[in-house]
Amino acid sequence: MPAFDAAPVSRAEPLAALFGPHLAGLCQRTATALEACGHAALLVHSGSLLPVFQDDRTYPFEANAPFKVWSPLDVPDCFIHFEPGRRPRLLFHSPTDYWYKVAALPQDYWTAHFEIVSCPDLAAARAALPRDLAHTAYLGEDFADLANWGVGARNPARLMRHLDFHRALKSPYELACLRTANRMGVRGHQAAERVFNAGGSEFDIALAFLAACGQREQELPYNPIVALNENAAVLHYQMLERQRPEPSRSLLIDAGAEFGGYASDITRTYTAEAGDFAALIGRMDALQQALCAQVRAGVDWREVHLQAHRLVAQVLREADLIGCGVEEALASGVTQVFLPHGIGHLLGLEVHDAGGFMRAPDGGDIERPEGHPYLRLTRTLEAGFVVTMEPGLYFIEPLLAAARADGRGRLIHWPRVEALRPFGGIRIEDDLAVTVTGCENLTRGAFLSESAAR
């Protein structure tokens, strides 16, 4: 399959037309935050290359999220300098180097909105900035000479909280990037399913995903989870077995792509045979869609999470995996044996995007529901949020062993569990853009459009 060219986007969403309003809104929010927090200007660092211990190699670079909200560049040692009322400046790191290829000075849909200054090194970047930075807030990690730059504050917590709180609301430009990231990710998932059905190993499936997305592994937003059979019971499974298991029963693939700095986060589960596990996947898909239908502005995400456990209890009962009613399953905590993680999270510049617990930009966090320590989002949804919806049902040995040892074991039908344990588990995950009346399912929409295009 030919690699995906990440440049094309829907004609209805030309990035050049969308980026200007996005940047204008970002400048306005940032100016308000700077004034509220007592700073006159902002300096954001893309990040530096991190060396491997006792070696001259570096780890793959990824720009810091506070920088990516301004620019889709993924180049180390660049800076955004913003003073309210003035055009943002990009200090672009352009060294003289013959060991590595130097990034070309950017000329893209977004660059006309910046004053761009080419800087061969950090000293040149400092020289391009105002002499007095005493009232400038700096966002980013320390680097060797930062102490001599004279910035007024480094990563001030109050300002960062203001900026992170509002990052949850996505502009039309950001939604366009997220739609494209979903289309790229869906192409990878379609290729992965084909290789699974053809008998490929986890490694084979991962390579097919990368090729169809048109991205190298270091360009993806996270390391793909490609789990066959029992490996699907490891929530963040990190291996890629080279040999195909015999038999190859099931595939859980949790993998996304990135476009313009914005991530997709998609999970699908497949089985190679008809039967009870295939029926369970069908039940979980219907459950996931029922939860998606609840998403709209004004909904407390904690209530969606608790409703997910209620629905999982019903599925467990229908599949004869437990021998109690829904209320007892919830009260006893038996659903958490099979669904131990949160139902979803904010999505954007980071896979688990910032600001998921914030009550307000000035302070205060919203607690997780008692007994649900792994939920990553507790805010009330607003139009413009993008969230993942990812219910799961797994057969995880340590959790099953704990249930055997306490009172929950009497509620579980162990022969049914043992019959399904070799399949590992199920997770189905879509990315949802919240609206006033419901949500746009970015992932299902991408599957429909990509299937129609084939």
- 155, 188, 207: which is the final residue of a domain? 155
* In a domain? residue 11: no
206 shares a domain with 315: yes
- Is 416 found in the same domain as 313? yes
Residue 375 sits in a domain whose CATH number is: 3.90.230.10
Tell me which long-range contacts 418-421 makes (C-beta under 8 A, separation of at least 24). Answer: 419/276, 420/276, 420/277, 420/280, 420/321, 420/395, 421/230, 421/233, 421/395
321 and 371 assigned to the same domain: yes
The reply to whether 130 and 176 lie within a common domain is no
**pLDDT tens by residue, the chain, 454 residues:** 333 333 344 434 589 999 999 999 999 999 999 999 999 999 999 999 999 999 999 999 999 999 999 999 999 999 999 999 999 999 999 999 988 889 999 999 999 999 999 999 999 999 999 999 999 999 999 998 999 999 999 999 999 999 999 999 999 999 999 999 999 999 999 999 999 999 999 999 999 999 999 999 999 999 999 999 999 999 999 999 999 999 999 999 999 999 999 999 999 999 999 999 999 999 999 999 999 999 999 999 999 999 999 999 999 999 999 999 999 999 999 999 999 999 999 999 999 999 999 999 999 999 999 999 999 999 999 999 999 999 999 999 999 999 999 989 999 999 999 999 999 999 999 999 999 999 999 999 999 999 888 7
Residues 65 and 211 in one domain: no
Q: Domain for residue 4, yes or no?
A: no
Same domain, yes or no, for 146 and 199?
A: no
Whether residue 411 is contained in a domain is answered as yes
Does 135 share its domain with 220?
no
Residues 204 and 346 in one domain: yes
Burial (Cβ within 10 Å: 0-12, 13-18, ≥19) of residue 270: middle
34 found inside a domain = no
Helix (H) or strand (E) holding 42: strand 41-45
**Same domain, yes or no: 221 and 333:** yes
Q: H or E element: which one contains 434?
A: strand 430-434
Q: Are residues 237 and 267 in the same domain?
A: yes
Residues written for the chain: 454
Q: What is the pLDDT of residue 453?
A: 83
CA distance linking residue 375 with residue 168, whole number of Å: 16
Q: Which of 100, 125, 155 is the last residue of a domain?
A: 155
Q: If you write DSSP's letter for every residue of 152-204 in order, what string do you get?
A: SEES-HHHHHHHHHHHTSPPHHHHHHHHHHHHHHHHHHHHHHHHHHTT--HHH
Can you give the residue range of the structural domain that contains 442?
A: 172-453
| Whole-angstrom Cα Rg for the chain | 24
Token readout for 19 is 């980026």
CB 439 within 8 A of CB 432: yes
Count CB neighbours of 212 within 10 A: 25
CA distance 91 to 48: 14
Residue 10 inside a domain? The answer is: no
For residue 437, is it within any domain? Answer: yes
Q: Which pLDDT value is given to residue 6? A: 38
Whether residue 360 is found in the same domain as residue 294: yes
Would 88 be classed as within a structural domain? yes
> At 73, which CATH number?
3.40.350.10
This prediction has a pTM of: 0.95
Where does residue 228 fall: left (phi above 0), alpha (psi -120 to 50 degrees), or beta otherwise? beta
Q: What is the DSSP letter of 209?
A: H
């955004």: which residue's tokens?
80
Q: Which residues are bridge partners to 213 per DSSP?
A: none
Specify the long-range contacts of residues 293-296, CB closer than 8 Å, at least 24 apart: 293/438, 295/381, 295/387, 295/389, 295/432, 295/434, 295/438, 295/439, 296/381, 296/434, 296/435, 296/436, 296/437, 296/438, 296/439
- Asked whether residue 277 falls in the same domain as residue 411, the answer is yes
Round to whole Å and give the CA distance between 222 and 24. 30
- Would you say residue 223 lies in a domain? yes
- Please tell me the total count of domains within the chain: 2
Residue type for position 350: E
Whether the CB-CB separation of 232 and 421 falls below 8 Å is answered with no
